[in-house]
Chain A
Amino acid sequence: MAASWCITSSPFISKGVSLTAAKERGQLVFLEGLKSCFDVLFGEEQRVGQPNPLQFISEDGSNLKTMYEFVRTSLMASGSDSWKCPVLLVDDLSVLLSLGVRPVDVLDFIHYCRVAVCSQLQGNIVVLVHSSDDSEDEENELVVNSLCHQSNLILWAEGLATGFCKDVHGQLKIIQKGSSELKAERNLFRIYQYKIQDKNVTFFARGMSVAVL
């Protein structure tokens, strides 16, 4: 679901983890944008206390400060527990642009989050954005390019250049920008093809799909 923010405080999520249970334990903080956007936009005056993290929708300026505050307080609260190394997942940053946030403010938001999550709490940030080669959305491309510049690992999923195929749904480019000690590593750039099934995805080297072999 587009535009939802997830904050987990677990080093890994293995298969079969119940997210509802995790949420009850306080391991997962979930901000669902779709659900509250109407009330933010048309609702009566804000309740006293904390402002809504989605406050920016109703204001003309694109101020993501309240959202950053939400991220920070959620992580700090859970940081005192045994959960270490928090992960911030942002499902679709591109939606923010559609809601009228300027690209610079989106990048500012991500930068602040990096400072808080990556440096201070030793956690990770995972961000999803849309992009395509022939896109004419310049604002979005600006955000994508800047994020590519900043990130350590880029997973780039795209369809095959030769068109739709029933057995190979697309290819995944993995671009790893290693730190200094990994510099000598050869496979910084890898391409796998993938096929999506109902519940999982199979990856294989190019041209090695089951249908071809």
Chain B
Amino acid sequence: MAALATGGATPSDGATSFQRKVPASSRLAAIAGTRPSVRHGQLLLSSGLPSLDCVLGGGLAVGTLLLIEEDKYGIYSNLLLKYFLAEGIVCGHNLFVASAKEDPADILKELPAPLFDDVHKNQVEWKETAIKSKPESQESMKIAWRYQNLPKIEVSPAASVRFGHYYDVSKTVSPELLQSIKWHRFFLPEEMSLHPEIKTCNMTCGYTKLLQSIQRIIYQEGFDGSYPQKKQKNILRIGIQSLGSVLWGDDVCCADNPEDIHSLTKFLYVLRGLLRMSLSACIITVPAHLIQNKAIMERVTNLSDTVVGLESFIGSERETNPLYKDYQGLIHVHQIPRLNSLICDVSGTKDLAFRLKRKLFTIERLHLPPDLSDTVSRSSKQDLAESTKLLSSGCGAMAIGKKHLDF
């Protein structure tokens, strides 16, 4: 963010975060796939999921870190990671994919295919035909006389690089589209064999290598503002899969009192330092349900900017619960950053659920299904009431509302 505030081209030695952020100029808006926030002027980019952007207050600010607590089987968190990367491909951003489990090339191959929307195209065509047919219909349109001198709405040429896209999960992205972008890989097993000797700095070896790799790319490709980028400015999207799992060589998932309890938190702190200085945004999935020591998760939350938890219904009793029949899981927004403002964009409701269809992954308010039957037996209603209680206890302290009144 500092890189943005100082104008990018100047060395950012003397700059601190105190500086007033310049209002979004055309220079900033020139980066594809980003838009300045109306609220606080920071540059936002889409997470690849328009409904998630909406929940997070318009999108992910450049220079911040989004932490996703994985669902039990990691299905939906992986999907969110892929949406984030796919959005980068569509916008022409540079990608950095890090994993200890899958080869980054395989992750990229499995990205969902973007839907270059026919709806939008149809609208354009419809508008054009409407404009063409205007002269002959002019007499019959007297009612709209006050609108006839208004300038025609210009359909922007960059309609395809608008903010946020939709994806088809059933198809994978085409290889041509993949080749058109620049991406960097970090696959832990092959990195470990490459450079065996390294200064570890009291951190798990995998984390050290990952940090150095990210730093190298940020500096070499000129994502930090200090080095003038010759080409068009671009954004680096960093995706890290299952950070903190055993495969990274970290033992926070296996022991209550792990040997290097500070490895993960240290990594996050340094990573955030790197992100703040550069034109980049990062998404990390963490298997939070595996981390035994809850204190670590508290610290990790404090060290991240945005924290979102996923809870899928697969394998739980909620899968068959009539309350949740429309949804695949719940999403908990734990933390939203406050940028240039005392408050964050918090949505009115805390009860959010997600549903996955073939072409649409949406996050929406959790609604109770309508009760359509005429003769609703009292017992089933009580069942529903029980499960709503279950739900609210998960999302807040509503259940104790009866005995405690704040005002």
**Least distance between B83 CB and chain A CB atoms (Å):** 27
Q: How far is the CA of A19 from the CA of B343 in the complex (A)?
A: 21
Decide: A34 and B343 in contact? CB cutoff 8 A.
no
A212 at the interface (CB under 8 A from B): yes
A35 to chain B, nearest CB (A): 6
Contacts of B341 in A (CB 8 A): 198-199
Interface residues of B in 361-407 (CB under 8 A from A): 396-398, 400-401, 404-407
Decide if A100 touches B262 in the complex (CB within 8 Å): yes
The residue among B16, B273, B294, B404 with the most chain A CB atoms within 10 A of its own CB is B273
Assembly CA distance A174 to B332 (angstroms): 31
Residues of B within 8 A of A12 (CB): none
- Which residues of A lie under 8 Å from residue B237 when comparing CB positions? none
Chain B hits for A58, CB < 8 A: 201-202
Known contacts A32-B16, A100-B262, A163-B401; A201 and B299 CB within 8 A of each other: no
**Complex Cα gap A95–B266 (Å):** 9
From A69-77, A135-143, A180-188, give the one contacting chain B.
Answer: A135-143
Are A95 and B273 in contact, with the CB atoms below 8 A? no
Among residues of A, the one whose C-beta sits closest to the C-beta of B340 is: A198
Query: How many residues of chain B have a CB within 8 Å of chain A?
Result: 43
Expressed in whole angstroms, the minimum distance between the Cβ of A44 and any Cβ of chain B is 11
- Cross-chain contact B299 with A97 (CB below 8 angstroms): yes
**With an 8 A cutoff between CB atoms, is B73 at the interface?**
no
CA distance A32 to B273 in the complex (A): 10
Minimum Cβ distance to chain B for residue A65 (Å): 18
Cβ–Cβ contact B302 & A98, under 8 A? yes
Q: Is the CB of B266 within 8 A of A99?
A: yes
Contact A193 B276 (CB under 8 A): no
A82 at the binding interface (Cβ < 8 Å): no
- Beta-carbon contact of A163 and B273 below 8 Å: no
Residues A3 and B407 in contact in the complex (CB < 8 Å), given A162-B397, A162-B401? no
The number of chain A residues touching the other chain, given as a range, is 35 or more
Instruction: Write the nearest CB–CB distance from A128 to chain B, whole angstroms.
Output: 11
A33 to B341 Cα, complex, angstroms: 21
Q: List the B side residues contacting A160 at CB < 8 Å.
A: 406
B348 at the interface (CB under 8 A from A): yes
The CA of A166 and the CA of B349, in the complex, are separated in Å by 10
Q: When the two chains form their complex, are residues A140 and B295 in contact, meaning their CB atoms are under 8 A apart?
A: yes
Assembled-state Cα–Cα distance A137/B355 (Å): 34
* A130 with B262, Cβ < 8 A, contacts A38-B211, A160-B406, A197-B342 known: no
A:8-30 near B, CB below 8 Å: 19-20, 23, 30
In the assembled complex, B259 has its CB within 8 A of some CB on chain A: no
A148 within 8 A of B: no
A211 to B302, CA, bound (A): 31
How far does the alpha carbon of A57 sit from the alpha carbon of B296 in the complex, in Å? 18
**B278 CB to nearest chain A CB (Å):** 11
Q: Complex formed: what's the CA distance from A193 to B293 in Å?
A: 33
Which of A32, A60, A137, A196 makes the CB contact (< 8 A) with B298?
A137
Expressed in whole angstroms, the minimum distance between the Cβ of A66 and any Cβ of chain B is 16
Interface pair B342/A198, CB less than 8 Å apart:
yes
A99 is contacted by which of B269, B294, B298, B342 (Cβ under 8 Å)? B269
Q: Does A168 contact B (CB under 8 A)?
A: yes
Q: Give A7 Cβ to nearest chain B Cβ, in Å.
A: 13
* Chain B, range 19-34, C-beta contacts under 8 Å to A: 19
Is B79 part of the contact surface with A, judged by Cβ < 8 Å?
A: no
B245 interface residue, CB < 8 Å from A?
A: no
Q: Is the CB of B269 within 8 A of A1?
A: no
Question: Do residues A95 and B269 form an inter-chain contact, with CB atoms below 8 A?
Answer: yes
Is residue B277 contacting chain A, with contact meaning CB distance below 8 A? yes
B274 touches A38 (CB 8 A): yes
Answer whether A162 and B405 are a contact pair too, CB < 8 Å, given A42-B201, A42-B215: yes
Q: Which of the residues B199, B201, B276, B299 comes within 8 Å of A98, measured between beta carbons?
A: B299
> Which of chain B's residues has its CB closest to A132's CB?
B298
Cα(A164)–Cα(B397), bound, Å: 9
Q: Which residue of B lies closest to A137 (CB)?
A: B295
Expressed in whole angstroms, the minimum distance between the Cβ of A138 and any Cβ of chain B is 7
Shortest Cβ distance from residue B351 to the other chain A in the assembled complex, whole angstroms? 10
Q: Which residues in A have their C-beta under 8 angstroms from that of B303?
A: 2, 95, 98
Q: Report if A35-B273 is in contact (Cβ < 8 Å); known contacts: A140-B295, A197-B342, A199-B342.
A: yes
**List of A residues within 8 angstroms of B397 by Cβ:** 161-163
Which residues of A have CB within 8 Å of B396? 163-164
Contact with B along A138-161 (1 / 0, CB 8 A): 111000000000000000000011
Residue of A with least CB distance to B202? A60
Cβ of B195 to closest chain A Cβ, rounded Å: 13
13 further A-B pairs in the complex, CB-CB below 8 A; given A130-B298, A196-B342: A1-B276, A2-B272, A38-B211, A41-B211, A41-B270, A57-B201, A60-B202, A98-B299, A98-B302, A161-B397, A161-B406, A163-B396, A199-B342
List 9 A–B pairs whose Cβ atoms lie within 8 Å, in order of A's numbering.
A20-B19, A35-B2, A38-B274, A92-B302, A94-B299, A100-B262, A162-B401, A196-B343, A201-B342
Interface residues of A (CB under 8 A from B): 1-4, 19-20, 23, 30, 32-38, 41-42, 57-60, 92, 94-95, 97-100, 130, 135-140, 160-166, 168-169, 171, 193, 196-201, 206-207, 209, 212
